[in-house]
Structure 1
Amino acid sequence: MKNLVPLITRASQASAIITFVKTASGSMAPRGRNIRVRRVTVLLSVFCAALLASPTAWSQAAQRTRIAFHVPEQNSKYTEQHTLDIGDMPGHTIRLFEIHRTFPDDPPAFAGVPVKDYWTRGESDTLSGNGPVWTYAVFNMANGDKIFGRSEGVAQATGGQWTGKRTVVGNLVLTEGTGKMRGIRGTLRVLTNVDLSKSLNDTKYEGEYWMEKY
């Protein structure tokens, strides 16, 4: 920020050097080039002043917090699953699902508040187990606040089409929160191993989040 002060000073000094030309009426007027210089100087000064008045814009990157956690299959439960065959080609299905994840030991925390549990509700559109997956997320915090998010990923069948095993890779984007979590933003990479035949789900998360000020 200190480097901006000399820049503003030099720009102000440059705008003070104004030459004049005589108009048809005999009066003196500043040259058009100097008018443009003064306009640019004013805009530069306003821009720099706004940055000086908003240290948050400069320190936001430093406020990002890393987070990583794992939800093993014993703490993930499918509470709803509905699969429909499309009928246009073999193995093409759409699927709606709901997953409840709990943290009995060592729960992750956002802004110092532990996560109590976590709901995922989503859908997939796959052909032979391969295709896009979309979900919405709700984190219930220990203090009663909530964090909301949405994710997009890609499922890939592993071990053959009919085994029900999938690997899903995607990103979970934190979009908003309530209470102390209001203003939260973030992106977490998500890796999920699924076994639909046994209703098992094992997921790892890694990424960062930050708090935006209103």
Structure 2
Amino acid sequence: MKNLLPLISRALQASPISTGVTMASGSGAPRGRNIPMRRIAVFLSFCCVALLASPAAWSQAAQRTKIAFEVHEQNSKYTQQHSLDIGDMPGHTIRLFELHRTFPDDPPAFAGVAIKDYWSRGESESLGGNGPVFTYSVFNMANGDKIFGRFDGVAQATAGQSADKRTVVGNLVLTGGTGKMRGIRGTLHVLTNVDLPKGLNDTRYEGEYWMEKD
């Protein structure tokens, strides 16, 4: 990339660029003037140097950490559920819910800080066990910080079984947090097996995150 600077300078010095408006003969107005090529070359060189001088910032932005963990059904609990029939066709419902996940053993960590517990609050629409799912997420960290996110996914009923037994797939996007986690960003791919009558929720997460500076 350093070789670009002399190439830009030579190209600009060879270009007869001019600016201004040429007036009719005898008008007494200037016919335009040539832009000093050396000044343009120096200006663009400075621009290139400024771009090339920030590899540290680029590498910092590119540093992403992979993460993968599971929350088994014994550590997931629906604390609230409210379901309403829409009424336009059988089995068409909307549902509000709150889900609490805990990590009693070997908790996963973001940026070296373990997750204490995790809340999901959202809604789903179902027709025969199939439909969209949307939630807001809050991770409570061991040091008192929080991580926020939002999940968009889709539920699919398990073939040949009750519509209340579903698989939910989607992405959890980390949008920020508090304290040390303020600049966290990331995307986690989520796979959840659900059995609503039993209140079971078994989830696997896999993705990556990074920290953005203010």
Q: Same fold (TM over 0.5)?
A: yes
For residues 56 and 20 of structure 1, the distance between their equivalents in structure 2, rounded to whole angstroms, comes to: 35
Q: Residues 172 and 187 of structure 1 are in contact (CA less than 8 Å); yes or no, is this contact kept in structure 2?
A: yes
For residues 17 and 75 of structure 2, the distance between their equivalents in structure 1, rounded to whole angstroms, comes to: 78
For residues 200 and 128 of structure 1, the distance between their equivalents in structure 2, rounded to whole angstroms, comes to: 18
Who is 1:72 aligned against?
72
1:56 deviates by 1.5
Identity %: 66
Matched, 1:30 2:30: no
CA shift digits 1:75-110 (9 cap, x unpaired): 000000000000011110000000000000010000
Who is 2:129 aligned against?
129
Q: Residues 176 and 184 of structure 1 are in contact (CA less than 8 Å); yes or no, is this contact kept in structure 2?
A: yes
Q: Residues 15 and 38 of structure 1 are in contact (CA less than 8 Å); yes or no, is this contact kept in structure 2?
A: no
Who is 2:205 aligned against?
205
For residues 137 and 107 of structure 1, the distance between their equivalents in structure 2, rounded to whole angstroms, comes to: 17
For residues 1-214 of structure 1, what are the structure 2 equivalents within 5 Å? Answer: 3=1, 5-17=2-14, 19=16, 29-30=33-34, 42=43, 45-46=46-47, 48-53=49-54, 55-61=56-62, 63-160=63-160, 162-214=162-214
Change (3 A) 1:52 1:202: same
CA shift digits 1:111-146 (9 cap, x unpaired): 000000000001001111100000110000000000
TM-score (norm 1): 0.85
The residue identity in structure 1 corresponding to 2:50 is A
CA shift digits 1:153-203 (9 cap, x unpaired): 000011546451010000000000110001100000000000001011000
Q: Residues 8 and 45 of structure 1 are in contact (CA less than 8 Å); yes or no, is this contact kept in structure 2?
A: no
- 5+ residue gaps, structure 2: none
Q: Residues 81 and 98 of structure 2 are in contact (CA less than 8 Å); yes or no, is this contact kept in structure 1?
A: yes
Structure 1 vs Structure 2 CA RMSD:
2.8
For residues 17 and 133 of structure 2, the distance between their equivalents in structure 1, rounded to whole angstroms, comes to: 67
Which one is further off, 39-48 or 188-197? Answer: 39-48
Q: Residues 129 and 161 of structure 1 are in contact (CA less than 8 Å); yes or no, is this contact kept in structure 2?
A: no
Which one is further off, 153-162 or 180-189? Answer: 153-162
For residues 17 and 209 of structure 2, the distance between their equivalents in structure 1, rounded to whole angstroms, comes to: 55
For residues 160 and 39 of structure 1, the distance between their equivalents in structure 2, rounded to whole angstroms, comes to: 71
Change (3 A) 1:40 1:81: farther
For residues 83 and 96 of structure 2, the distance between their equivalents in structure 1, rounded to whole angstroms, comes to: 6
1:149 deviates by 0.1
- 5+ residue gaps, structure 1: none
For residues 51 and 17 of structure 2, the distance between their equivalents in structure 1, rounded to whole angstroms, comes to: 32
1:38 deviates by 7.5
For residues 91 and 101 of structure 2, the distance between their equivalents in structure 1, rounded to whole angstroms, comes to: 29
For residues 147 and 207 of structure 1, the distance between their equivalents in structure 2, rounded to whole angstroms, comes to: 15
Matched residue count: 206
For residues 169 and 32 of structure 2, the distance between their equivalents in structure 1, rounded to whole angstroms, comes to: 70
Higher share in helix: 1
Q: Residues 9 and 41 of structure 2 are in contact (CA less than 8 Å); yes or no, is this contact kept in structure 1?
A: no
